[in-house]
Chains A and B, each alone.
Chain A
Amino acid sequence: MNDNKTEIVSASYITAETDHMAYQPGMDDIGSEIQDEVIARMNAYDANRYTAADVQRALQRDVLQPEDFAALLSPAAAPFLEQMARRAQAETRKHFGNSVQMFTPLYIANYCENYCVYCGFNCHNKIRRAKLDAKEIERELQAIAATGLQEILLLTGESRSMSPVSYIGETARCARKYFRVIGVEIYPLNVEEYAYLHACGVDYVTVFQETYDADKYKTLHLGGHKRIFPYRLNAQERALMGGMRGVGFAALLGLSDFRRDAFATGLHAHLIQRKYPHAEIAFSCPRLRPIINNDKVGPKDVHEPQLLQVVCAYRIFMPFASITISTRERADFRDNIIGIAATKISAGVDVGIGGHSGEEKGDEQFEISDERSVEEVYDAICRHGLQPVMADYLYV
């Protein structure tokens, strides 16, 4: 790959003093019309302004507008959670039938140059760092493929120097030998770099914005490329410009006001879909989880009923979107939510480095709550009357 033109310089000079809203040398600036609209509407969103009547009106609509979505995320919608779940379930069945897609994440490295105060991988946290070499990666891929899975999500910590784009591209080429569907959850890239990864076999890009509240974002991301808010927010659009088929969106619920963050996440996806109608849209719904060496990190006010409300609101607002439910959640919650709104579930998850085929050589990013194997999750899906799907995509 010839990425000389778009070389992004080392992250170490970006500190808590760096302007988080200013693009840094080498970062593609594709304009900000979507970002501006998301931020403006999120700032205008007052969740307490909505009434029961607003919620009922939203639920009566066939196709929802952002204002209806806002109502479903409000406290006024809490008494309607059962109705929301029923509507969400009907939409899920209509668009996906009883299919539930299965996949697993593969962490290939956990080096990170960012300082995000809530994350176990952050560069100041003293954990075991590791990076798998090509042989180890292939061994991990083989071990995962042997479970029957056909979809894989490649993850790295956010270090351009330790996990360069070419390293991720080579991993994807190898993964193509064993898997039908390849997604990445890595640091944001430039358009050309996304095009390169697409050529290597990657089709889906997920970037967690963490929080859309730029002022809060600034206080949580104290160093590294991730501090640059607009470069992260516009990653999905750059990925689509680079030829990716689908993009995933998420706020890490609990970092800031979760209703506003969920509203911004949905609106962001909505605006991207309007601008790129062919794009496949996906949501993830992570909550904060405890991390190594910091027991203060937790989900705060986002308890299971609130999480369910958010997931149902995503589903009703964008009935065609894929929704992934994280292993951060306990098994019973996951099994129930795939019967309602989620369409994608991970299984056989190991969030450390190298744990699928041998001894883990790097520490995990966070604690997971659902440690079931692929087979166990497969059986649980069937027991709920749903159909596990290993592949629902052809790379053409």
Chain B
Amino acid sequence: MADKLILGGHEFTSRFILGSGKYSLDLINAAVHHAGAQIITLALRRANEGGVANILDYIPSGVTLLPNTSGARNAEEAVRIARLSRECGCGDFVKIEIMRDSKYLLPDNQETIRATEILAKEGFIVMPYMYPDLNVARDLAGAGAACVMPLGAPIGTNKGLTTREFIQILIDEIDLPIIVDAGIGRPSQACEAMEMGAAAVMANTAIATAGDIPAMAAAFRQAIEAGRTAYLAGLGRVRETASASSPLTGFLHD
């Protein structure tokens, strides 16, 4: 059976969600191609319909748009942006980003749950960006989220899986795809997330700030595929300690 990522009933073979911000519009096409990405995020606030430098004009056809609600400070604003996005013809997918902090751009989990509940009821395929917390992830699942998107590190930092232990708990306990979003700085970190059992990885800054954007997109693609294959193959065990020469249970055989 083919290994597919399923989100809101839609099937994808790529597990690399590419961001479209922070780099030149005319590189988006090459980045998507090299990434093999089937989903691309975009900030709706950046869309300039009918105007100059409209990002929507640069996204290749056939790629699923994942508009995000960046700029929203609470659930109400996120809901309004999502509705606008649908009206603009950006489809039913929405990535909820709600930040009340302009310095670190950390997501507001409570407001994200509220927005998820409202938008899922309206038929959106809701992909919430969140701080990895098991209780919140359960609430998001209960509210109708299509997946859960925990951050690996603060947005834009390229620091990698600083929340590794907590993401692992989500992977182990939540029945939805867990997509690691934000903070992934290197292909090796994306690979590690996939080895852990993440369903997909979303990356933007790591690619946008690379010297050669299409080449870095390709490197991430390969790393994500390798990590996924390793996860499916079942990683070999890692011994925490060496085998003791005098086992504690040896007395049973004396």
Contact = CB atoms under 8 A, between A and B. Distances in A.
Interface in B18-59: 21-25, 43-48, 51-53
Contacts of B53: 148, 387-390
Contact of B22 (A96, A148, A150, A277): A96
Interface string A313-355: 0000010100000000000000000000000000000000000
Interface string B84-102: 1000000000000001111
Interface string A227-247: 000000000000000000000
A396 interface: yes
Tell me if B's interface is mostly helix, strand, loop or mixed: loop
Contacts of A378: 52
A279 B53 CA distance: 27
A93 B157 CA distance: 10
A396 B22 contact: no
B98 to A, nearest CB: 10
B207 to A, nearest CB: 10
B48 A150 contact: yes
B139 interface: no
A96 to B, nearest CB: 7
A98 interface: yes
Chain B interface bracket (under 10, 10 to 19, 20 to 34, 35 or more):
20 to 34
Contacts, number: 83
Interface centre among B21, B53, B81 (most CB of A within 10 A): B53
A93 B209 contact: yes
Interface centre among A150, A279, A281, A391 (most CB of B within 10 A): A391
Interface string B122-150: 00000000000000000000000000000
B163 to A, nearest CB: 17
B22 A99 contact: yes
Nearest to A382: B24
B81 A320 contact: no
Interface string B55-74: 00000000000000001110
Given A94-B157, A98-B23, A393 B102 contact: no
B156 interface: yes
Contacts of A304: none
Interface residues of A, number: 31
Contacts of B99: 278
Given A97-B22, A390-B53, A391-B46, A396 B81 contact: yes
A318 B23 CA distance: 21
A390 B51 contact: yes
Contacts of A318: 103
B208 A98 contact: yes
Contact of A320 (B21, B102, B205): B102
A389 B46 contact: yes
A394 B23 contact: no
B48 A391 contact: yes
A36 to B, nearest CB: 23
B117 interface: no
Nearest to A96: B22
A278 B51 contact: no
Nearest to A97: B22
A394 B156 contact: no
A280 interface: yes
Contact of A394 (B24, B44, B158): B44
13 contacts: A94-B209, A98-B22, A99-B21, A273-B103, A278-B73, A385-B24, A388-B52, A391-B47, A391-B51, A392-B46, A394-B45, A396-B80, A396-B81
Given A320-B105, A392-B46, 20 more contacts: A94-B156, A94-B157, A97-B21, A98-B23, A98-B208, A273-B102, A278-B101, A280-B102, A378-B52, A385-B24, A387-B24, A387-B25, A389-B46, A392-B43, A392-B45, A394-B44, A394-B84, A396-B72, A396-B77, A396-B84
